[in-house]
């Protein structure tokens, strides 16, 4: 239920088909919008192996299944009418990530990473550090499916999982249908890392408290000898018997991703590696060489956009919270006057942080569903509506040396299929305007 475009739906559908299961994929999105996902799935299992119901859900499909695998993008699943129909019909209810973690051989060799911002970067840094001494599999909310690598994971493999609040809800709250083994009813990794915490995804969880509970469940079921590592400002209580540690100091040379928050992410990553028994010197070398992921403060280059005027373009499309946008602005302080493009889909989170952000940038250019609300609180904002218009307006206003920063602070799905598509559209717009572009 929910093929989606992020890879998890493709992965779990293919994995089930490879186990000999009769799979029906049902998604309310149109066949045209899901064309790439359908082609990818058919390419893996062969055309005709999976049955599709696209553009709608039908009662006979839901009531006729034995197992309903729900995409974590489905908000407030406990209230979803289709999930309730399947449950009444006696189906087991699960998700891709639950199927995967229930089959991992060694919970103690799993590093789980969550937080409101920095999950992907910190997870990747941890994996880089662990790879200096161990075989490592990196997965979870980064895209794709952990199920695809299960066959290669043994009791000596370290698994690093980025876990979203929706994934954690399914792992530790979920729909209680009695199908999971008792030892998996309440799961936490051997090493739990929380990067930070502020309100997010209230549209999915329904309240800030419910969102916090989901995040806290990452370490709620840890056991004596396990490790909980909480980033700055996260003061949650950890279970009795769990060793709670603070980040080590981090000093680096090399291309580490910019910003104080990424130095914190690196310190968290190094402390996690140390908790896993890895030599911290070797881990530090590997982490220090990590320059960042695409769409996370990604430096696209310096571009000549008018005669004698060059701007630096920074793609931070992955940023989907106002607090994350504030971190991006902080990270670029001193590089030049910042022209911030912000806005997108409404997740129900407070947008007030944009008032303070506006005082630290040259101007805010707003887009998407939340654009009007942000413009109302951000001093001197320019309401643009679309990303292309925002890029053009920022360039029209720019002086030599300015930074044009896409750090939306909101989700992408009002105007784009995902944050990657938004970031790619930003890059195209900048390059189409540039008289002479170069990557620096």
**Lookup result for tokens 């530790």:** 172
pLDDT at 440: 38
Distance from C-alpha of 348 to C-alpha of 208, rounded to nearest angstrom: 10
What is the token pair recorded at 255? 């291309």
- Checking if the pLDDT of 427 tops 90, the result is yes
Write out pLDDT tens, residues 346-372: 999 999 999 999 999 999 999 999 999
Write out pLDDT tens, residues 268-300: 999 999 999 999 999 999 998 998 999 999 999
- Checking if the pLDDT of 251 tops 90, the result is no
**Lookup result for tokens 């990424």:** 262
C-alpha closest to that of 332 among 384, 398, 262: 262
For the segment 211-238, the average pLDDT, to the nearest whole number, is 94
C-alpha closest to that of 219 among 196, 247, 242, 246: 242
Q: Where in the chain is the domain with CATH 3.90.190.20?
A: 298-438
- Checking if the pLDDT of 176 tops 90, the result is no
Contacts of 257 (CB under 8 A, 6+ apart): 121, 265, 290, 291, 292, 293, 296, 297
Contacts of 383 (CB under 8 A, 6+ apart): 366, 371, 372, 375
Contacts of 71 (CB under 8 A, 6+ apart): 1, 2, 3, 4, 8, 9, 95, 96
Distance from C-alpha of 161 to C-alpha of 147, rounded to nearest angstrom: 12
CA distance readout (Å), 302 to 236, 336, 427, 439: 42, 12, 12, 6
pLDDT at 255: 67
Handedness of CA 98, 164, 221, 272 (dihedral sign): positive
What is the token pair recorded at 390? 């925002």
Exposure string of 407-428, with b = 16+ CB inside 10 Å and e = fewer, is bbbbbbbebbbbbbebbbbbbe
pLDDT at 259: 85
pLDDT at 291: 87
Residue predicted with more confidence, 78 or 259? 78
Q: Where in the chain is the domain with CATH 3.40.50.720?
A: 8-94
- CATH code for the part of the protein at 98-288: 3.40.1190.10
pLDDT at 6: 82
Model's pTM, two decimal places? 0.91
In the chain, % of residues over pLDDT 90: 87
Write out pLDDT tens, residues 298-327: 999 999 999 899 999 999 999 999 999 999
Residue predicted with more confidence, 353 or 440? 353
Grouping H, G, I as helix, E, B as strand and the rest as coil, residue 355 is helix
Write out pLDDT tens, residues 13-26: 999 999 999 999 99
- Where is 300: in which H helix or E strand? strand 298-306
Distance from C-alpha of 109 to C-alpha of 189, rounded to nearest angstrom: 8
Average pLDDT, the chain: 93
For the segment 368-382, the average pLDDT, to the nearest whole number, is 98
- Where is 87: in which H helix or E strand? helix 81-88
CB neighbours of residue 128 within 10 Å: 21
pLDDT at 254: 64
Distance from C-alpha of 113 to C-alpha of 140, rounded to nearest angstrom: 9
**Lookup result for tokens 């996260």:** 234
Distance from C-alpha of 161 to C-alpha of 71, rounded to nearest angstrom: 17
For the segment 118-134, the average pLDDT, to the nearest whole number, is 97
Distance from C-alpha of 166 to C-alpha of 349, rounded to nearest angstrom: 16
pLDDT at 253: 58
Out of 3.30.930.10, 3.30.710.10, 2.40.160.20, 3.40.50.720, which CATH number does the structure's domain 8-94 have? Answer: 3.40.50.720
What is the token pair recorded at 109? 């060799």
User: Class for domain 298-438, per CATH?
Assistant: alpha beta
- Checking if the pLDDT of 180 tops 80, the result is no
Phi, psi at 299, each rounded to 5°:
-80, 110
CA distance readout (Å), 32 to 28, 35, 143, 194, 208: 12, 5, 21, 38, 35
What is the token pair recorded at 63? 């009531």
Q: Where in the chain is the domain with CATH 3.40.1190.10?
A: 98-288
pLDDT at 185: 74
Q: Are residues 117 and 196 in contact, defined by beta-carbon separation less than 8 angstroms?
A: yes
Q: In DSSP terms, which residues pair with 364 in a beta bridge?
A: 340
pLDDT at 252: 63
């Amino acid at each position: 239920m929910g093929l989606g475009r992020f890879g998890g739906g493709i992965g779990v559908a293919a994995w089930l088909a490879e186990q000999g299961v009769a799979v029906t994929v049902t998604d309310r999105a149109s066949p045209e919008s899901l064309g790439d996902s359908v082609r990818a799935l058919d390419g893996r299992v062969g055309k005709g192996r999976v049955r599709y119901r696209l553009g709608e859900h039908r009662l006979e499909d839901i009531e006729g299944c034995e197992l309903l695998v729900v995409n974590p993008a489905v908000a407030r699943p406990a209230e979803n009418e289709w999930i309730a129909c399947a449950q009444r019909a006696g189906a087991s209810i699960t998700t891709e990530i639950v199927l995967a973690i229930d089959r991992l051989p060694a919970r103690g060799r799993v590093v789980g990473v969550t937080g409101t911002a920095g999950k992907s970067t910190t997870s990747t840094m941890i994996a880089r550090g662990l790879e200096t001494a161990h075989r490592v599999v990196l997965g979870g909310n980064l895209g794709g499916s952990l199920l695809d690598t299960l066959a290669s994971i043994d009791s000596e493999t370290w698994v690093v999982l980025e876990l979203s609040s929706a994934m954690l809800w399914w792992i530790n709250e979920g729909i209680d249908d009695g199908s999971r083994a008792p030892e998996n009813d309440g799961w936490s990794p051997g090493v739990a890392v929380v990067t930070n915490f502020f309100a997010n995804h209230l549209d999915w969880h329904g309240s800030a408290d419910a969102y916090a509970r989901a995040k806290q469940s990452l370490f709620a079921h840890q056991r004596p000898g396990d490790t909980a590592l909480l980033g700055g400002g996260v003061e949650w209580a950890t279970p009795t018997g769990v060793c709670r540690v603070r980040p080590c100091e981090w000093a680096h040379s090399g291309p580490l991703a910019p910003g104080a928050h990424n130095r914190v992410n690196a310190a968290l990553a190094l402390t996690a590696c140390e908790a896993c028994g890895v030599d911290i010197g070797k881990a530090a070398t590997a982490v220090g060489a990590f320059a960042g992921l695409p769409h996370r403060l990604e430096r696209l280059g310096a571009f000549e956009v008018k005669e004698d005027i060059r701007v630096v373009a920074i793609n931070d499309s992955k940023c989907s919270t106002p607090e994350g946008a504030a971190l991006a602005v902080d990270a670029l302080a001193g590089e030049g006057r910042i022209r911030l493009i912000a806005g997108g889909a409404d997740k129900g989170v407070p947008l007030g942080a944009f008032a303070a952000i506006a005082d630290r940038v040259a101007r805010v250019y707003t887009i998407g569903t939340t654009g009007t609300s942000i413009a109302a609180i951000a001093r001197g904002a320019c309401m643009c509506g679309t990303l292309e218009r925002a890029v053009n307006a920022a360039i029209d206003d720019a002086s030599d040396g300015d930074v044009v920063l896409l750090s939306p602070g909101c989700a992408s799905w009002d105007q784009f299929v995902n944050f990657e598509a938004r970031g790619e559209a930003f890059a195209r717009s900048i390059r189409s305007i540039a008289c002479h572009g170069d990557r620096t």
